[in-house]
Structure 1
Amino acid sequence: MPQIYFLCTGNSCRSQMAEGFARQYLGQQWRIASAGIETHGLNPRAVQVMAEKGIDIGQYHSKLIDIDYLNSSDLVVTLCGDARDRCPVTPPTVKKQHWPLPDPAQAQGSEAEILTVFRQVRDEIERRVQALV
Structure 2
Amino acid sequence: MSVAASSTLTQQTGKAPRSVLFMCGMNAIRSPMAEVLAKAMLPAGTYIASAGVRPGERDPFVDVVLAEIGLTVGRHQPHTLDELEDDYFDLIVTLAPEAHHAALELTRSMAIDVVYWPTPDPTVATGTREQIVAAYRDVRNHLATLLKHRLLGQMPDKMA
TM-score (norm 2): 0.76
* 1:1-133 alignment runs, 5 A limit: 2-66=18-82, 69-70=86-87, 72-87=88-103, 88-90=105-107, 91-131=109-149, 132-133=151-152
Deviation per residue, 1:59-116 (Å, 9 max, x gap): 211011147734x110000001121123342144101110111111222121111111
Identity fraction in percent: 31
Letter in 1 for 2:49: A
Q: CA deviation at 1:25?
A: 0.7
Q: 2: CA distance between counterparts of 1:57 and 1:13? A: 10
Assess, with a 3 A threshold, how the Cα gap between structure 1 residues 62 and 27 changes in structure 2: closer, same or farther: farther
Match of 2:155 in 1: none
What secondary structure is seen at the aligned counterpart in 2 of 1:28? coil
Q: Please identify the structure whose Cα radius of gyration is greater.
A: 2
Q: How many residues align?
A: 132
Q: 2: CA distance between counterparts of 1:68 and 1:120? A: 30
Q: 1: CA distance between counterparts of 2:144 and 2:64? A: 15
Structure 1: tracts of 5 or more residues without a match: none
Q: 2: CA distance between counterparts of 1:35 and 1:23? A: 15
Q: 1: CA distance between counterparts of 2:43 and 2:32? A: 15
Structure 2: tracts of 5 or more residues without a match: 1-16, 153-160
Letter in 1 for 2:128: S
Q: CA deviation at 1:29?
A: 3.0
